[in-house]
Amino acid sequence: MLWRFTANNTHLYPGALLRSHESVGMTALSPDDELLVEFSDGVSVSGVIPAVESAGVILQMPTYRTRGGTTVTARTWRIMAGGDPGLMRVQERLAGA
């Protein structure tokens, strides 16, 4: 399934917020789902969820370029529910990505 999110910055980092266009909870996200993330500069990037764990959702984002020309390398993140419906928060960057 494809989920659409908006990020509060041009890249992800621990503490960054993702807001769903749908009212989605962590239980709705499943392995192999895609997240289309629109960053604050208007650049959209499609990531994939390889796993959903009790500690959070794993999100793999590919390498992309911000509107300002900065290359953001491929990274894997753990994201958690952000407290409000449809809000997710990046918890940490995972090693190996």
Percent of the chain with pLDDT over 70: 93
Q: What is the dihedral of CA 68, 63, 8, 25, to 10 degrees?
A: 160
How many C-beta neighbours within 10 Å does residue 34 have? 13
Residue 62, pLDDT score: 97
Amino acid 82 reads: G
| pTM, full prediction | 0.90
Q: Give the residue from 92, 75, 79 showing the smallest Cα distance to 19.
A: 79
Residues 18-41 have a mean pLDDT of 85
